Structure 1
Amino acid sequence: MRKYCPPTEPFSSVIYQDSSFLILNKPSGLLSVPGRDPAHKDSLASRVQKKYPEALIVHRLDMDTSGLLVMARSPEVHRKLSTLFQNRKVDKTYIARVWGIPTADSGEVDLPLICDWPNRPKQKVDHEVGKPSLTRWEKISSTADSSLLRLLPVTGRSHQLRVHMQAMGHPILGDPFYAHSEALAAAPRLLLHASALEFVHPETQERLSITSELPEAFSAE
């Protein structure tokens, strides 16, 4: 079990806000919501609620993943936003730096996933009882030993992008759960970033497109 040492700078970063919801930029290493252990009390949600006590978490990012996360400012908006996410009406884009160079410029990974209970929170591919899981990907650039990919999850399973990249033979650099030793050592953190969200505003019906700048850690040396 790794010691929980969440970053404190910036304390919280608001990318977008209005009277209906907030969109935050979560740093890698910070939980989306508090854990059961008192040592895991610090989280993006609890930090935001110190200034916006009405804010309610709509969806989550893995602790090691950075990027865009939405919090509603009322129960009614929370219900509407949750429905958008559940019905796959939110277009999500992630950027990942992975081990190696895919031979194709784009593709998809269609592999069913289920929790690996003896090793939770890890997930695994299971063709018999796994839930359908689909990820589309596009190659942005490559270096001698790694590639920057745009990942477009169609479904939203736990650890989906991380397991699908591992199954493709290109684990995400710095992944403490799924990367082999060389890929783990190749980055100081999991190089997975929730870079864009696009959806129809549940109150104004305006289509919003919000982006987050890629952290410096993703730059190839």
Structure 2
Amino acid sequence: MLGKEMQTHVAVPQVKAIRLQDYGVGIFPTLSTKSALKKALKKKHIFVDGKLGKTSTFIYGNELITFYPLDEKTGQRKLILQLKVLYEDEHIAIINKPAGILVSGNSFKTIANALEQNLKRSIQPDAIKPQAAHRLDFATTGLLLIGKTKASLLVLNKLFEQKLVEKTYFSVTIGKMLKQGTLTFPVDGKEAISNFEVVETIVSERFQCLNLVKLAPETGRRHQLRKHLSANGNPILGDAIYGKAGLILKGKGMYLHAHSLAFIHPVTEKRMYIEQELPSKFGKLFKRN
């Protein structure tokens, strides 16, 4: 049964027509994924200018899109998770992702489910439920770039696709390493490039030596840095998947941190640079501020 409260959205003018199945993701709070949108379309809950919307419906701009959500039960759980917001405006935000949480997915505890309570809703006409423009692993900490409007999210996605977002990470690795270099082992059969620089090395009784390493990936394959460092013989400390048997550090998490982001703002076109200090566990090893 359709809910009583309809939701409306006026489509943003498009340079080139776009299918509703692509445009509609995120324009309504409960339709933040393509699967949710397709489900609503299949159940005939979305209309465009008064006509039943389909996945093949083209959006040119200025159409009135209406969504009639299902009646929802009251008393649904709300995720209470405070996030550190390093930057926010009407179009984008940058938050510090803690370790031990997924960015998105079917789990209740995700960054995606915590964004609305931590960010101000945009007043732009194409405002959407805030969405991450990229991913960080479950155990990785650090900077996550968020889109708050449809237009901004599309531009951010293109920036990542075109490799126009400069990312730096810090990790702690095990074993002797060259001072600097470039790792080019293919990841999942695709080209993958990671630049590294060893900032500091300390002697370790258990691990022989530990390195504080600055990483600058040129590509963005899944688990790229973890796989590259492991293939080089220098797995990340605390990496339970790609680490060496007998040298897995338990209870401290993985030592991989997304330290900085540099990119052109999708609306103001100003160059943005944001960095987040290393977690305290890094400083405990290397005695750095």
Question: TM-score, normalization: structure 1?
Answer: 0.83
2:202 maps to amino acid: T
TM-score by length of 2: 0.64
Q: How does 1:133-172 map to 2 (within 5 A)?
A: 133-144=192-203, 145-172=209-236
Structure 2 unaligned residues grouped into runs of 5+: 1-78, 122-128, 204-208
**Correspondence for 1:25:** 96
Please say if residues 132 and 146 of structure 2, whose CA atoms lie closer than 8 Å, have aligned partners that are also in contact.
yes
Match of 1:131 among 190, 193, 198: 190
Report what 1:76 is aligned to. Answer: 151
Distance 1:141 1:186, change over 3 A: farther
Assess, with a 3 A threshold, how the Cα gap between structure 1 residues 186 and 47 changes in structure 2: closer, same or farther. closer
The SS at the match of 1:164 is helix
- Between Structure 1 and Structure 2, how many residues are aligned? 194
Per-residue deviation, residues 135-178 of structure 1 (Å, max 9, x unmatched) = 00001000011000001100000000000000111000000100
Tell me the distance in 2 between the aligned counterparts of 1:181 and 1:168. Answer: 15
> 1:44 maps to which residue?
111
Secondary structure of 2:247's counterpart equals: helix
The residue identity in structure 2 corresponding to 1:185 is L
The equivalent of 1:91 in structure 2 is 166
Relative distance call for 1:105 and 1:112 in structure 2 (3 A) is same
2:278 paired residue among 183, 205, 214: 214
Residue by residue over 1:184-218, the C-alpha shift from the partner in whole angstroms, topping out at 9 and shown as x without a partner, is: 22771110000000001111111011000100111
8 Å contact kept, 1:175–1:183: no
Aligned equivalents of 2:91 and 2:147: distance in 1?
6
- Contact 1:171–1:183, Cα closer than 8 Å, also in 2: no
CA distance in 2, matches of 1:186, 1:98: 15
Structure 1 runs of 4+ with >4 Å offset: none
- Cα offsets for 1:1-36 (capped at 9, x unmatched): xxxxxxx99621111111110101001101111x33
The Cα offsets for residues 26-78 of structure 1, whole Å up to 9 and x where unpaired, read as: 01101111x33xxx211111101234463122111001000000111101100
Residue number in structure 2 paired with 1:110 = 184
**Separation in 1, partners of 2:183, 2:273:** 25
Distance 1:105 1:51 in 2: 40
In structure 1, how many angstroms separate the alpha carbons of the residues matched to 2:172 and 2:267? Answer: 36
The CA RMSD over aligned residues, in Å, is: 1.7
